[in-house]
Amino acid sequence: MASTPSKKPKYDTKRAWAEARALLWEHRKSVGIGMALMLVSRAASFVLPLTPKYLFDEVMAKQRYELLWPIALVGFGATLINAITSFALSQIVSVAAQQAIAKLREDVQAHLIRLPVRFFDSTKSGVLVSRVMNDPEGIRNLVGTGLIQLVGGFVSALGALVVLLYLNWRLTSATVLFLAIFGVGMSIAFKRLRPIFRERSIITAE
């Protein structure tokens, strides 16, 4: 008689949120510096799209050629600031993420070696290696660049939305509607792809 498939364990959402908050608090310094650098980088990224407006409206239309050098210097300065902050962000946050991943791997390994021998008899070595090496990589999105890029993208999108609504709210509303439809389609696609990624992890462990 075929055995019934075992039910998947339910995720403890409260515990996951508590561990996430504790991890963010532990690395609050690097995350805070990363957030500040991200805001500076996003603010600098808005400068270049604004320079053509003054170039065409002031320099070319009104023939105010004395503004050409200041506009060029502002654009160069914004590009330089964006490059420096992006490099500093990747260095500071990436180092903190690697330290967190290494510490979590040590904790998982320390927990495994305290387990009884019968656990290792009933568990494949590939599963244990996958738990120690691959699973801690997930926190890179929390204390690494993932969370900061998410917040930065939200800030940029919100700022751009306010400006576009001010310029032309009808065209902006049509664009937002199109993006919403695209987002729903992506959500459906990820719901179908997520089990495939889980299956890939199982195959890797085997």
Mean residue pLDDT of the chain comes to 81
Assigned token pair, 6: 């075992």
pLDDT tens for each residue of 118-139: 888 787 777 788 778 877 777 7
Mean pLDDT of 41-56: 85
Q: What's the pLDDT score for residue 8?
A: 52
Contact 37, 88 (CB under 8 A): yes
12: pLDDT strictly greater than 80: no
% of the chain with per-residue pLDDT over 90 = 4
How far, in Å, CA of 182 to CA of 175, rounded?
11
Q: How confident is the model at residue 10 (pLDDT cuts 50, 70, 90)?
A: low
Q: What's the pLDDT score for residue 151?
A: 87
Distance (Å) of CA 63 to CA 49, 56, 57, 133: 21, 9, 9, 62
Q: What's the pLDDT score for residue 1?
A: 39
Contact 129, 120 (CB under 8 A): no
Q: Alpha-carbon Rg of the chain, whole angstroms?
A: 25
Q: What's the pLDDT score for residue 101?
A: 84
Q: How confident is the model at residue 67 (pLDDT cuts 50, 70, 90)?
A: confident
2: pLDDT strictly greater than 50: no
31: pLDDT strictly greater than 60: yes
Contacts of 19 (CB under 8 A, 6+ apart): none
Per the listing, tokens 């403890």 go with 12
The C-alpha angle 174, 178, 184, rounded to 5 degrees, equals: 145
